[in-house]
Chain A
């Protein structure tokens, strides 16, 4: 009985949480312009979206492209910068380490709006034109801490002498980084990259304040502007459904892979 109650609690929560998503998915299969009005089954929204046959199609496609470009560039730079920083922090002691860890935590604890406003003021103060570059720099700012925090545990798990072993065998610091540290830290770097990438994809507030007035749109700002105009572009519904499906598949794949890895490791320990 207790078990039944517990299970139902979890499932009710999940149903409520997924209701809006299911709602979007269902209404992506009708042509009605207003979300929530059913005008018969149709896949024409998908056709419009994939074929680019819709009002303002180019701007939605642009927004999606911008979102992806910004996320890829920001996550890549953040992964490089963050990995080096993590190695540095791991080898630091005392007050310097505390100071750097503190600064690294600031963008994570700071609400998006503060990060956005403060960076906006920075670009204004420096007289830098805001656009692609400022948005990417801003995204690197709030993405890198996640990379640092993903890589640090891998460094703590790593045998502390591995880097020195490489030097001992004749590697220069650069060779030791490329041939030993990067391969060993790769899992942390990948999860850091994925985190940074999703953070960047999902961001609205920071982009909103740092994109300038040149009309740079990402998916988030596009949706915001669209909703403010009243009436969402209906093609967003299939887009969201597709994004959700992609996430679903990705998570599934990652989980299956991790499960296999865990099994393989478990088996090898038996030997």
Chain B
């Protein structure tokens, strides 16, 4: 026993067991339930159902569309913000970045509800526009922070070297700063795309239930006891997530980068 403790690499043993039990096993169960029918026999029924259900397919497409649009909007709005916040010329206080992060400490559902109410008061009809606005509003900090992180840690001498070699400020940005900050952008994509493609409550509030997203049908199925079909849908979502993760990891993103 003391031998076991004296080797420090063994100190992670409890957590390793915990992870196998509460992370690995549950994911295996998702796959298992997905390939079973309600009686526990092997079946591809769920997958057949999904691919022959125009409603489900449409929801799937809409979810992907909304997630991609939200992510793109976040990049368009967030990159300049991160760039300004990280540049010494325009911003000298670290407090501003904290101001961007702070709203995240308030319950996300509550913030979303307030946004929806604000729209209603301003007589803006709830629909896709408000949905996108609300999602961008909720997830923008997740895009700004990792980009800010990379930009503010970036060695100034790269840009100076480029200038020294005759590049104009615009060229410096295009050829040096932007390519070097791409890992941050990919971390942001990971942090924004994942929750938006899977969200359910937020979309319900922001569209008054007019827009169904993929997360909502997963929730409906699980809540109504259709576990196997719920597992099928979850597995499909997992595949999307897996592809995105691999893609962004490949480009240098890391979950740690987005850690606030």
Contact = CB atoms under 8 A, between A and B. Distances in A.
The reply to whether chain A is a binding partner of chain B is: yes
Interface of A: 3, 6-7, 9-10, 13-14, 16-21, 23-24, 35-36, 81-82, 84-92, 96, 100, 103-115, 117-122, 124-125, 137-138, 140-141, 144, 146, 148-150, 163, 173-174, 195, 198, 201-202, 204-205, 208-209, 219-220, 223-224, 227-228, 232, 236, 240, 243-244, 247-248, 251, 255
Given A88-B15, A112-B195, A204-B201, A21 B9 contact: no
Interface in B59-74: none
Given A6-B90, A89-B12, A111-B197, A35 B29 contact: no
B109 A109 contact: no
A103 B23 contact: yes
Interface of B: 2, 5-16, 18-20, 22-27, 29-30, 33, 77, 80-81, 84-85, 87, 89-91, 95-96, 98-100, 102-111, 113-115, 117-118, 120-121, 137, 140, 190, 194-195, 197-201, 204-205, 215, 218-219, 222, 227, 230-231, 234, 237-238, 241, 245, 255-256, 259-260
Contact of B255 (A10, A103, A105): A105
25 contacts: A9-B80, A10-B91, A20-B114, A21-B103, A21-B106, A84-B15, A85-B12, A87-B12, A88-B8, A88-B12, A88-B15, A96-B9, A103-B23, A103-B24, A105-B255, A112-B195, A113-B219, A117-B230, A140-B22, A204-B108, A205-B200, A223-B109, A223-B113, A227-B113, A228-B204
Given A85-B11, A173-B5, A247 B227 contact: no
Given A84-B11, A86-B12, 7 more contacts: A16-B137, A85-B14, A100-B16, A111-B195, A114-B237, A114-B241, A202-B104
Of B5, B15, B238, which is in contact with the most chain A CB atoms at under 10 Å from its CB? B15
A117 B231 contact: yes
A10 B140 contact: no
A202 to B, nearest CB: 6
Contact of A18 (B6, B98, B103, B227): B103
